[in-house]
Structure 1
């Protein structure tokens, strides 16, 4: 049993909350039974280490079975050790370390995608994680991250995906110009979600075509240079008195509008 929260092994896991450590090691944190369960179910090969309290394993016997099926085992640790590893204030007793597995832009586009989300300069990990989750739920084929978008392996982003991180390909580090041009060559229209665009309701019928939605920074949106890469800019109509929608909510509506149109 691991009992020392200051041991080098525990510190190495805890450092994965920092982007520099994730970049240097290619590893990241999974916190809580839901994240570990999804990883073992969808991508057991990425899981390298699991740490858990005895109580957490008793409460989650299915995870013990999944670990055995994957040829893995959990290292038993005291609660204070798991707490020292975790990024959350109230960890749920199970922590895993996983290998990052980003997809390549060429590979994603070679599969003939119909719906893609391009996230440009998004800085809030909760927003990014929610968009990844919505892209998964709406049946999108990939999420492409461009510019200085937050790391999808940030612990808060990982938690916000609620497991969708393992269900949908994520392309990291692409230039927006390259991503837009490549998706257009693959037969997708690039539609920018922008408050200055045309009313989305006026072009709903066009959303049945293969589409790459472009979403910008929470505060600044998309600048003129970024908008120039899109085929068209569209806005969501506001029928009430709200000033605007937050990024994750707007992205949810856009992706689902395309999903509905493509399935009608």
Structure 2
């Protein structure tokens, strides 16, 4: 069978998922690259179809052997499905994975709760950091970037498929849901009253870290809903930390304290 071309109806239909509205209407998204496809294939029922070039089909024969449908496409067709500068040759068509906040928080001990995080690279990296720190879930709340944005999926390097992700339009609802689930909510705040370096006793408890927008942080009214506000000490002259860096420090501090 000949590889599908870029003008093929199935390829064109998949390409429409570059638009957020299309993704949410159909509850489908594209996972670009072998790591993402490998992670997606580990989740039963997640992958609908995998598009791959002839070269990638040979290179990733192990993935092809377990995919529900593996479709060979021309290089140009694959490139039209990827937003990467140098496509890896494999793109998965996947079903949405998010679950209700209450389900994602059930029995959780460590959670990243992102409020109005707009940068897809940051959101994907937070998901990756949460996965690496052994967190139980990530919540994207408010006007946060779409979890299924191609850049978010790619930045998570497969971690999107490793832990529950919830989407909640109202950050205050997400905070209260975390508290109702038995988690203390700690707001990462440069003006916080608690120093992260001296908070091990606090951090040992089940925790949801509340992380704000890259540019303006947490709104006062949202930060006030948290049980405590925690600052990361800055010993040099930097004004602040990148969101994903701050998330990594907070999550790992909690992971260390909880595992003692």
**How high is the TM-score relative to the length of structure 1?**
0.94
Pairwise CA distance, 1:2: 3.7
Contact kept, 8 Å, 1:144 with 1:174, in 2: the verdict is no
Pairwise CA distance, 1:209: 0.6
Pairwise CA distance, 1:65: 2.1
- Partner of residue 59, structure 1: 59
Q: Distance in 1 between matches of 2:196 and 2:115?
A: 20
Contact kept, 8 Å, 1:146 with 1:172, in 2: the verdict is yes
> Which of the numbers 86, 91, 95 marks the counterpart of 1:99?
95
- Partner of residue 123, structure 1: 118
Pairwise CA distance, 1:202: 2.8
- Partner of residue 151, structure 2: 156
2:138 pairs with 1:143: yes
- Partner of residue 79, structure 2: 83
- 1:63 is paired with a residue of what secondary structure? helix
- 2:218 is paired with a residue of what secondary structure? coil
Q: Distance in 2 between matches of 1:107 and 1:49?
A: 27
Q: Distance in 2 between matches of 1:89 and 1:15?
A: 19
Deviations 1:73-125 (A, max 9, x none): 31111111111122222211111100002111221233x21111110000000
- Partner of residue 21, structure 2: 20
- 2:217 is paired with a residue of what secondary structure? coil
RMSD: 1.3
Contact kept, 8 Å, 1:2 with 1:81, in 2: the verdict is no
- Partner of residue 230, structure 2: 234
| Stretches (4+) displaced over 6 A | none
Pairwise CA distance, 1:66: 2.1
Task: List alignment gaps of at least 5 residues for structure 2.
Answer: none
- 2:168 is paired with a residue of what secondary structure? strand
